[in-house]
Amino acid sequence: MVPYSARWGPPLFPLAAHVFSVLGGVLIAVVGVADVVVAYAFRWQPESAIPGSSAVYAVTGVVGVVSGVAISVLGFRLRTDPRTARSSGIGIVALSLVSLFGGAGLFVGLVFAFVGGIMAMTWQLPFYTVLRASSRPYTLGRGELASSSTPPLPPTVTQRFCESCGTANPLRSRSCSKCGASLY
């Protein structure tokens, strides 16, 4: 489970990108299923205006279903593995453009998926992140891990890191609280 509450700060995954992508993928897949149903329902009807129109509906429906399901899977991947946000976002944007050939979820699904993909590509881990489990390492900056023996400072305290041991110290400190090295 990914922690999210007012006490622990922002979510550790791109929440808005996840919601927009999954919603867009579902809309695209539903319109694709509707196209397949229309193609199946009218397969025995005489094709007066356009020969092969039921086959066109079937193909656009299949493209819509496949791209919608793939977008939804990538949207759920944003929640389960946020490290892949950029590559998932690229896939979501590409598949949302492919969905143009499959009904595009009445264009609402296309817009939702496209916006979700852009949000996923630009998402970054919040600057100060603390994991709930005290035995696991925590991050001090974007991807910078500290040892689990160093207690985290509250998010409101501006920090300076020791170049010798990597310990987080308050900004006003002149020397490291762990090893005593000068911070200047």
Tens-place pLDDT, residues 78-137: 988 888 889 999 999 999 999 888 777 778 889 999 999 999 999 887 654 444 444 444
Asked if residue 143 is part of any domain, the answer here is: yes
Look up the domain containing 61 and give its range: 15-122
Residues 156 and 93 in one domain: no
* pLDDT at residue 162, rounded to an integer: 82
Residues 157 and 114 in one domain: no
* Closest alpha carbon to 7 in 132, 147, 138, 149: 132
* Closest alpha carbon to 71 in 87, 103, 95, 90: 95
The percent of residues above 70 in pLDDT, for the chain, comes to: 70
The answer to whether residues 23 and 68 touch, using CB atoms and an 8 Å cutoff, is no
Q: How many domains does the chain have?
A: 2
Asked if residue 45 is part of any domain, the answer here is: yes
**pLDDT: which is higher, 81 or 10:** 81
Could you say which of 122, 144, 162 is where a domain stops? 122
Q: In this model, does residue 35 exceed pLDDT 50?
A: yes
Asked if residue 25 is part of any domain, the answer here is: yes
